[in-house]
């Protein structure tokens, strides 16, 4: 599942989005417990800032300011997200976890 840091720390202008992503966070843990008996793994990827349709209206200066919250000073790429998804499919003993793909601190 795809989560968001906003779902964990909230955002004053994104209440509905924060609520829905907060629900994803709980759903991952609940589903991991329920589906473990069937050997189904459920994890959450929190990709961080990506240039996608959701951020298309964020101008370059604002996007750079948001990226600056990362202690490593850079955003995430869609390629990094894809590589993480593939990597998670190789793990046999990981479920109910959140994987943060950027370096923002909660």
The pLDDT tens digits of the residues spanning 53-86 come to 878 888 999 989 888 889 998 889 999 999 999 9
pLDDT tier at 14, thresholds 50, 70, 90: confident
Question: Which residue range forms the structural domain that includes residue 20?
Answer: 6-100
This prediction has a pTM of: 0.85
Rounded CA-CA distance 98/44 in Å is 5
Neighbouring CB atoms inside 10 A of 88's CB total: 15
Domain membership flag for residue 15: yes
Domain membership flag for residue 55: yes
Provide the pLDDT for residue 38: 97
Is residue 4 part of the annotated active site? The answer reads no
Domain membership flag for residue 1: no
The domain tally of the chain equals 1
Domain membership flag for residue 33: yes
Domain membership flag for residue 106: no
Q: What is the pLDDT of residues 18-64, one digit of tens each?
A: 999 999 999 999 999 999 999 999 999 999 888 888 788 889 999 89
Are 51 and 73 within 8 A, CB to CB? no
CATH code at 69? 3.40.50.720
Marked catalytic residue, from 1, 17, 50, 69: 17
């Amino acid at each position: 599942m795809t989560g968001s840091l906003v779902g964990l720390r909230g955002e004053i202008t994104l209440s509905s989005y924060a609520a829905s992503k907060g629900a994803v966070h709980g759903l991952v843990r609940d589903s991991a417990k329920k589906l473990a008996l069937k050997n189904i793994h459920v994890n959450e990827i929190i990709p961080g800032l990506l240039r996608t349709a959701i951020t298309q209206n964020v101008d370059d200066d604002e996007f750079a300011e948001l990226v600056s919250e990362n202690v490593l000073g850079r955003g995430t790429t869609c390629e990094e997200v894809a590589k993480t998804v593939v990597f998670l499919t190789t793990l046999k003993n990981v479920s109910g976890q959140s994987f943060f793909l950027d370096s923002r601190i909660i």
